[in-house]
Amino acid sequence: MLDIRTINKRYGTRQVLTDVSFGVESGRLTGFVGANGAGKTTTMRIILGVLSADSGTVLQDGVPLTSDDRRRFGYMPEERGLYPKMKVGEHLVYLARLHGLGPASARRNTAELLDRLGLGERAGDLVQSLSLGNQQRAQIAAALVHDPEFLVLDEPFSGLDPLAVEVVMSVLSGFAAQGAPVLFSSHQLDIVERLCDDVVIIADGEIRANGPRERLREQHSSPRFELRTAADAEWIHTVPGISVLDLSGGVAVFEAETDAASQSVLRQALTRAPVTQFSQQRPSLATIFKEIVQ
Amino acid sequence: MSTIWNDRAGTPHIGRPQVRPRYPAPSFARSVWLVATREIMARLRSKAFLISTGILLLISVGSVVAGSIASQNLTMPKVAVVGSAAQVVEQTESFTMVKADDIGAAESLVRDGTVSAAVVPSTRADALLGVRVIALDSPPVGVLAALSVTPAVSLLEPTSRQSGGLVYLVSLGFGLVFFMSAITFGSTIAQSVVEEKQTRVVEILMTTIPVRALLGGKVVGNSIMAFGQIVAIGLLVAIGMATTGQFGLLGTVGPSIVWFAVFFAFGFVMLAALFAATASMVSRQEDVGSATSPVLFLVMIPYFLVIFFNDNPTVLAVMSYIPFSAPVGMPMRIFLGTAAWWEPLLSLAILLASTAVVILLGSRIYSNSLLRMGARVTLRQALRG
């Protein structure tokens, strides 16, 4: 469990982070969402200790992070980069050894990881000879090669083709499943929606929302329901406390003033015809994001 | 893959399902060594480096061999002699004699350039040696000096026991080797610093090992390579001298070569730290040249000073104590025999102290500049952080 507590950061006269606080839970994928310049990269750099905060602390299991702790982190910076003239395999072994792995385990981890990411056959190629997508995979491998206890990835999905996105998603979920906290930022809200357990939304250097994805969706749900029944649902206009937004045959979209009103619609529907669907409409992450940020 | 699609929001979190393996962080020295090894391997794989090293080694061997050939072919000037003048010329043992039948024949030998001068018997009463010298258009200084009688000379302050030509060659050698190696490896280290900055790999490295270990590894790796090159040149020159029979020269130059290697080892560490620090202030390879030019001057100045002032004891004495020029100046004075036994040690101590200071300042500049991309970092920003 990682705790980011009231981080403030100022560049010159510009306040880039204001009292940023959130938690990253072990074994869960946390998506970090925000517009360009909202403060995602700065926050991640502060977590990794590459930048120092003006105030605030980062705690791991309640204890402030030291540089030794951070060495067990896996980090994929926003600005990608590996040595262009090094072989992919050697590069990963080098990074693993800098993290303290012995030669044998460094080579083993490298081989396993390259295979998982579909780069097994490119281990002997120079980094600069890889396609952009493959360089991106190698970059992800660089963040994972030392079996990190905690993963911080800045935009791990940008520049990946759909196939590679699936591969990286499965690698990240696998990592979280082993108990490591994973924090990653992304512009691709659909990916965050599919992948993340928790979501943190940042705008203008302030955390606007943060918590389990589903709770967030519930909090931002409107009192809007959808009903699908086998028979015509004209009767729904007569239910008190209900305003119908759309009705065509057995499909109705309506807003309910109270929970009791929506439940009475369901009860009446069941007495008239088989109900195939009755649901509260939940907003997508993209909708919530727009709503929160604006 | 299916697990990804599952809605795991409701899954309660129960501790860590599995304890991940923990790898102890490598020690500082270990980190430095890992970085240094990578630097060395990167150098050894670069064709440009291998070729330039090969050329430098060839030049050093070539100059020793050329020197030996030149000294063997050194021929004595030819002088025409007539009659009894032969005895006078023979005594000097400095000339190849060409016998001429009479003065007229000797004069024509001088005119057609076969000999540089003619020595003929003189009957004049004021001719002390009983000979007269005939030359074409100017008095032949070398011939006159060999024939003249010189009184014994005692020098009160001898400046050197080495001959002028050799002094020049040795100073050129030290100056050139220092200059070449420092520039080659200095610019290599500068480029590799900017490469890390430009390719952004530095951000990963910084989260992995302490910045000082990164700088240390680069300095150590490149210093090992530079020092290895110097030792290789020194050995090749020594072997070259030994195989071409120049043992006398080896005896006089040898000790100063050893001192040169020692001074170079520490002097280069200082320069390497400076190159790394100045290079870290820019973000693009195109800017490396202008950023490191102040350091280049520090390397070039001793090179020119030692070539122009190798016969000036005051300049050499000052040079031998200034850290940047000591690697050239002090071995030069040891070669000339003008340094007392304690002087190289004192100069080495000064060099070590300034190297330590430069490394401290350099690593400060380096750490503060590494993450500043784009515009060149000013020295004030770099020092203040």
Distance CA B269, CA B116 (A): 54
Taking the Cβ of residue A196 and every Cβ of chain B, the question of whether any pair is shorter than 8 Å is answered with no
Average the pLDDT over A42-63 and give the result. Answer: 90
Low-confidence ranges of chain B (pLDDT < 70): 1-22, 70-76, 93, 127-128, 149, 155-164, 374, 385
Taking the Cβ of residue A61 and every Cβ of chain B, the question of whether any pair is shorter than 8 Å is answered with no
Q: Which one is predicted more confidently, B165 or A116?
A: A116
Question: What is the per-residue pLDDT for B351?
Answer: 94
Same domain, A101 and A6: yes
The residue among A172, A199, A218 that closes a domain is A218
Question: What is the per-residue pLDDT for B103?
Answer: 84
Could you report the per-residue pLDDT of A17-31, keeping only the tens digit for each? 999 999 999 889 999
Distance CA A132, CA A144 (A): 19
Taking the Cβ of residue A285 and every Cβ of chain B, the question of whether any pair is shorter than 8 Å is answered with no
Question: What is the per-residue pLDDT for B271?
Answer: 92
Distance CA B139, CA B117 (A): 9
The residue among A176, A203, A218 that closes a domain is A218
pTM assigned to the model: 0.76
Nearest Cβ partner for A67 among B4, B9, B210: B210
Q: Which of B25, B303, B365, B40 is nearest to B179 (CA)?
A: B303
Domain CATH code at residue A276: 3.30.70
Question: What is the per-residue pLDDT for B361?
Answer: 92
Q: What are phi and psi of B96, to 5 degrees?
A: -90, 125
Same domain, A99 and A196: yes
Chain A residue numbers touching B35 (CB-CB < 8 A): 98
Across the interface, whether the CB atoms of A71 and B42 are under 8 A apart is answered no
Nearest Cβ partner for B4 among A101, A173, A214: A173
Chain B residue numbers touching A50 (CB-CB < 8 A): 203, 206-207, 371
Same domain, A195 and A134: yes
Question: What is the per-residue pLDDT for A125?
Answer: 93
Same domain, A182 and A224: no
Judged against a pLDDT cut of 50, whether residue A59 lies above it is answered with yes
Question: What is the per-residue pLDDT for B75?
Answer: 61
Domains of chain A: total: 2
Domains in chain B: boundaries: 31-67+159-384, 78-142
Same domain, A80 and A134: yes
Same domain, A214 and A250: no
Q: How many CB atoms lie within 10 A of CB A198?
A: 24
Q: How many CB atoms lie within 10 A of CB B201?
A: 24
The residue among A193, A218, A243 that closes a domain is A218
Question: What is the per-residue pLDDT for B5?
Answer: 39
Q: Cβ-count burial of B132 within 10 angstroms (0-12 exposed, 13-18 middle, 19+ buried)?
A: middle
Question: What is the per-residue pLDDT for B342?
Answer: 92
Domain extent for A225: 220-293
Question: What is the per-residue pLDDT for A9?
Answer: 92
- Touching B: A residues 93-112, CB under 8 Å: 94-95, 97-101, 105
How far is CA B66 from its chain centroid? 19
Question: What is the per-residue pLDDT for A255?
Answer: 86
Q: What are phi and psi of B301, to 5 degrees?
A: -60, -50
DSSP string, B39-104: HHHHHHT-HHHHHHHHHHHHHHHHHHHHHHHHHHT--PPEEEEETTHHHHHHHHT--EEEEESSHH
SS3 assignment, position B284:
coil
Same domain, A231 and A210: no
Same domain, A210 and A109: yes
Same domain, A191 and A252: no
Cβ distance B357 to B269 under 8 Å?
no
Question: What is the per-residue pLDDT for B17?
Answer: 39
Same domain, A109 and A236: no
Give chain B's contact residues with A (Cβ, < 8 Å). Answer: 1, 3-5, 7-11, 13, 15-26, 31, 34-35, 38, 42, 45, 195-196, 198-210, 371, 373
Question: What is the per-residue pLDDT for B56?
Answer: 83
Judged against a pLDDT cut of 80, whether residue A111 lies above it is answered with yes
Q: Which one is predicted more confidently, B161 or A228?
A: A228
Across the interface, whether the CB atoms of B34 and A97 are under 8 A apart is answered yes
Same domain, A212 and A159: yes
Question: What is the per-residue pLDDT for B279?
Answer: 92
Same domain, A206 and A273: no
Q: Cβ-count burial of A86 within 10 angstroms (0-12 exposed, 13-18 middle, 19+ buried)?
A: buried
Domain CATH code at residue A20: 3.40.50.300
